[in-house]
Structure 1
Amino acid sequence: MSFAEQLTRLQAFLDADELHEEALDYVAAHGYMTALSICAESVPDREWIDALFAEEPHYKDDAEREAIEGTLLALKAHIARQLASDEEFELPCDLDLGEDPDDSDLRGWCIGFMEGVFLREEAWFESAEEEVSEMLLPIMVGSGLFDEQPEFEDIAKDANLQDDMIVQIPEALTALYLLLHAPDEKPALLKPRHH
């Protein structure tokens, strides 16, 4: 079975209604694994897979479980390779919140990404809190999770500003990856910090 076919099967599995309501669907799972791939601290596979599903799915048999978990691991490795390459990172959805943001795939992807950040929040912010916060901003805006907070309220009300920020997500991902994995190669968009 080709990787594309495996992904199609994984997508059908994650998007099915019978999963636990807090389980991540395919697009959210992609965001979640992107965050896990960027985080400097690696999370054990068992832990993040269990957290992704919220509770053990009802697999038909062990073969199905192995196939689904194997594809999750393969997708995560694929995402990590994409982040490490020089190409612009591609999200599995449009960079657009559309008419109904709560219903958009991008919102789901951003929420999944933040779920991945929350698994190891300290590891994200310990080395460069300010820069990381700045680069996470477009994703935080896209997630809608923070709209009630004062610094997000104004952005949430301004659709154009939101759109401007959201299109920066692929760049932000590359910058975060470099920052957390190759701290010596500071991307150009960061000004050196004066000690």
Structure 2
Amino acid sequence: MSFAEQLTRLQAFLDADELHDEALDYVAAHGYLTALSICSEDVPEREWIDALFAEPPHYSDDAQREEIEGTLIQLKAHIARQLASDEEFELPCDLDLGEEPDDSDLRGWCIGFMEGVFLRESAWFETAEDEVSEMLLPIMVGSGLFDEQPEFADIAADANLMDDMIVQIPEALTALYLLCNAPDEKPAILKPRHH
């Protein structure tokens, strides 16, 4: 099965109604894996997979569980390669919150990304807190999770400012990746993996 086919199956699984309410759908899972790929601290696979689903999903059998988890791990590696490349990072959704921000895929992606940040919040801010906060801002704005805070409410109330910030997300991701994965170290992709 090709990676594209695996992703299609993963998407159908994550977007199905029977998953736990707090489980991440495909677009949110992509955001979440993007954050995990950027984070300087490696989160154990079991931990981030379990957190993604909120509670263990009802797999039809072990083979399906292995396929879904395996595809998630491959997708995370794929995202890490994209971040490490020189090309602009592509989100799996439009860079637009649309008429109903709460229903937009971009909002879901940003929320998923923030979920990934929350898994290891201290690791994100231990180096260059101000720069990280600044680069996370477009994603935080997009997520709508912080709208009750005055400075976020002001941004959310200004559609043009919102749009200006949202389009900076791919650029911010690349900058965050470089900042959190110090250039003097080998990129995570080249480190041997121990299973």
1:82-127 deviation line (CA, Å, top 9, x unaligned): 0000000000000000000000000000000000000000000001
Moved over 3 A (4+): none
SS at match of 2:97: coil
Distance 2:184 2:150 in 1: 34
Structure 2 counterparts to residues 113-192 of structure 1, below 5 A:
113-182=113-182
Aligned to 2:51: 51
Q: 5+ residue gaps in structure 2?
A: 186-195
Amino acid at match of 1:59: Y
Amino acid at match of 2:78: H
Distance 2:184 2:134 in 1: 19
Amino acid at match of 1:174: T
Aligned to 2:188: none
Amino acid at match of 1:169: I
Structure 2 counterparts to residues 82-97 of structure 1, below 5 A:
82-97=82-97
1:56-102 deviation line (CA, Å, top 9, x unaligned): 00000000000000000000000000000000000000000000000
SS at match of 2:21: coil
Give the total of aligned pairs.
185
Distance 2:183 2:63 in 1: 41
SS at match of 1:65: helix
1:1-39 deviation line (CA, Å, top 9, x unaligned): 000000000000000000000000000000000000000
Amino acid at match of 1:150: P
Structure 2 counterparts to residues 11-50 of structure 1, below 5 A:
11-50=11-50
| Deviation of 1:138 (Å) | 0.2
Aligned to 1:188: none
Distance 1:150 1:25 in 2: 29
Q: What TM-score does the superposition give when structure 2 sets the normalisation length?
A: 0.94
Distance 2:152 2:103 in 1: 19
Distance 1:183 1:81 in 2: 15
Q: What TM-score does the superposition give when structure 1 sets the normalisation length?
A: 0.94
| Deviation of 1:183 (Å) | 5.0
| Deviation of 1:184 (Å) | 5.5
Q: 5+ residue gaps in structure 1?
A: 186-195
| Deviation of 1:182 (Å) | 2.1
